Amino acid sequence: MPKHPSLSAPRLPLNRLALNPLEKMGRNEQCWCLSGKKYKFCHLDRETQKGGNVFDSEQKMLNEMRQGYCSFPGPVPESPCSSKITKAHTVQKNGGMAAISEENHVLSVKPVMKEMIATNGNPQPRRVGVNLASVFPGFCSYHDSELFKKIEGKTLQLEAETAFLFSYRAVAYEAFSKAAQQRFYTHLRDGDKGMPFWKQVQLQSLLYDMHIGIEIGLREIGDWKKQFDEQLLSGPQETFHFAIFRFDRVLPVVACGAFHPEFDFEGARLQQLGQDKFPLDHITLTVTAFDGSTIAVFGWIGPVDGPAHELVSSYQNVDENRKADALLRLLFIHTDNLFLRPSWWTELPDDKKRTLNDMTRSGSHVQARTGRELSDDRKKFLAAGVVESRLG
């Protein structure tokens, strides 16, 4: 395949260099933190102001996540929204969630602030009820039930239309999450109240980097969702591609997300993040259960020879009896909308738990992402094989 142009594009410089921290400024000057506010309304006397509580900030984030809307593109007269925004499950509650739950609970790999602090940044998967697992207020009750009928039953046809619906829901979830993240960012800007100036600079620099990343992510996912919206209304086109793999049993994991494929399963780099010259390929991945077995559904809109295609092609080349392990590594690296069967995780040896937990930090400021994470198949986590696949 031709190399993706992002691989030779210059990376963005550290954005914190755009800040020009000044401990003293004119009251009516624009604040050095680039908040857009005047200094007198922003960082003037910030070190004497009452500091916030990290748990209060987390609660504000959760409140932001509860502000819902319907992701269906519109207005479309023949398919109007209902007045109620529902808690939409990205993985069907009575299907995939039910297949891995125990005592009506699963484990979530998405951490909360209390556990991050208590474990010094090394949280373990936490227990959550299936009614709350994988939900987001991203559809009205009408479209949540009508759009996804074909993928909410007990059986499933492995075809382009059903693959597209899985992908559409994943894209809607990612778009919602990015928008909530942007709103939450505004709350974090006040997190340096009561801190000395040098700590204010440190925090605002990190937040400015975060802001740039959020802006790029919103622009990319917005463009991608627009493409999916167009095909939702007209029907999947030939630019939509998918791959579905069915395993010989129910795996102890379910997930739903969308991400940039950076490396393939042989460790080769597919595209480079951290640049804004060339658009990046996305891919969606849903893992759930139907009729007594797990299916993994990849989907993307784009070229047949781009990074998304190459990721799937390299997955096809993984030995059939190692595909479940490869899938697990991919999920722990690329999505936190991932849920586990509690007893499976409890029974894992400690070294395997550490390996998977380390993957959840891949690509963060504490751990750079490498091709080895995805290609290293020395540890075996799941005993399962692929019995059916469908590509289109």
State the pLDDT at residue 61. 61
pTM of the prediction? 0.86
pLDDT band at 119 (very low <50, low <70, confident <90, very high): low
Query: Quick check: 16 pLDDT over 50?
Result: no
Average pLDDT on 256-279 reads 90
Could you tell me what percent of the chain has a pLDDT over 90?
A: 53
Interatomic CA distance for residues 211 and 363, integer angstroms: 16
| pLDDT tens digits along 77-98 | 778 898 899 888 999 998 999 9
What's the sign of the alpha-carbon dihedral 311, 309, 269, 366?
A: negative
Residue type at 122 in one-letter notation: N
Dump the DSSP string for 40-81: GGTTTTGGGSPP--HHHHHHHHHHHHT-----S----TTSPP
Which structure tokens are listed for 56?
């209060």
Residue 14 pLDDT > 60: no
Token pair of 97 as six digits: 């969630």
Angle between helices 307-316 and 323-334 (to 10 degrees): 150
Using one digit for the tens of pLDDT, what is the confidence trace for 60-73? 666 655 678 899 99
Using a 10 angstrom Cβ sphere, with 0-12 exposed, 13-18 middle and 19 or more buried, the burial of residue 60 is: middle
Q: Please list, in sequence order, all residues whose beta carbon lies within 8 angstroms of the beta carbon of residue 278, skipping any fewer than 6 positions away.
A: 4, 5, 6, 9
For residue 175, the 8-state DSSP code is H
State which amino acid sits at residue 224: W
Residue of 172, 371, 130, 382 lying closest to 271 (CA atoms): 371
- Three-state secondary structure along 76-140? CCCCCCCCCEEEEECCCHHHHHHHHCECCEEEECCCCHHHHHHCCCCCCCEEEECCCCCEEEEEE
Q: How confident is the model at residue 181 (pLDDT cuts 50, 70, 90)?
A: confident
Phi, psi of 143 (to 5 degrees): -75, -30
48 exposed, middle or buried (CB, 10 Å; 0-12, 13-18, 19+)? exposed
Is the model's pLDDT at 182 over the cut of 80? no
Name which of 335, 327, 320, 283 is nearest 163 in CA terms. 283
**Is the model's pLDDT at 218 over the cut of 50?**
yes
What average pLDDT score do residues 158-185 get?
Answer: 88
Cα distance between residue 176 and residue 169, in whole Å: 11
More confident residue, 347 or 186: 347
Statement: residue 107 has pLDDT above 50: yes
Asked if 243 and 298 count as a contact pair (C-beta separation under 8 A), the reply is yes
SS3 call for 333: helix
Choose the most confident range, by mean pLDDT, from 139-148, 183-192, 217-226: 139-148
Query: Is residue 231 scored above 70 in pLDDT?
Result: yes
Model confidence band, residue 315 (pLDDT cutoffs 50, 70, 90): very high
- What is the rounded (10 degree) CA torsion for 69, 81, 76, 242? 60
Residue 288: Cβ-neighbour burial (10 angstroms; 0-12, 13-18, 19+)? buried
